[in-house]
Amino acid sequence: CNLTGWWENDLGSKMQVFKVGNDGTFSGEYHTAVSSTKKPIQPSPLNGSQHLDEDGQCTFGFTVNWKKFSDSTAVFVGQCFNGDDGKEILHTSWLLREKVDSEPDDWKATR
């Protein structure tokens, strides 16, 4: 699987991976289509790593820092699959950590 390029999810968020290095590291930008903040959404930097293997159905993970419009950070993990039509498909899970004002509020900081 070649992560380089543009990817879009079911909600309309887009990710651009600039280049995947020989060691599997990559960077890019995430353009989210959803946010709970009242500030205007802006593209956000992402950094990640891909496990390179022979069958092309690699696992990967990346972090997105929403610092341009939010006090939160998200991490994504996933795997690339080669569909029956030859098209590459990414399946991911994510966690989002929002800043909270105090330790007692820690319970509601992660989605």
Report yes or no on 108 lying in a domain: no
Contact indicator for 63, 46 with CB cutoff of 8 Å: yes
Contact indicator for 28, 15 with CB cutoff of 8 Å: yes
Report yes or no on 21 lying in a domain: yes
Report yes or no on 10 lying in a domain: yes
Which residue segment(s) compose the domain that 65 sits in?
5-102
CATH number at residue 11: 2.40.128.30
Report yes or no on 110 lying in a domain: no
d(CA 53, CA 65): 27
pLDDT digits (tens, 9 = 90+) for 57-103: 789 999 999 888 888 999 999 999 888 898 899 999 999 998 999 99
Residue 62 has a pLDDT of 97
Residue identified by tokens 């419009």 is 69
Token reading at 96: 């989002």
What's the domain count of the chain? 1
Residue 7 has a pLDDT of 95
Token reading at 25: 């590291």
Of the chain, the percentage scoring pLDDT greater than 70 comes to 99
pLDDT digits (tens, 9 = 90+) for 20-32: 999 999 999 999 8
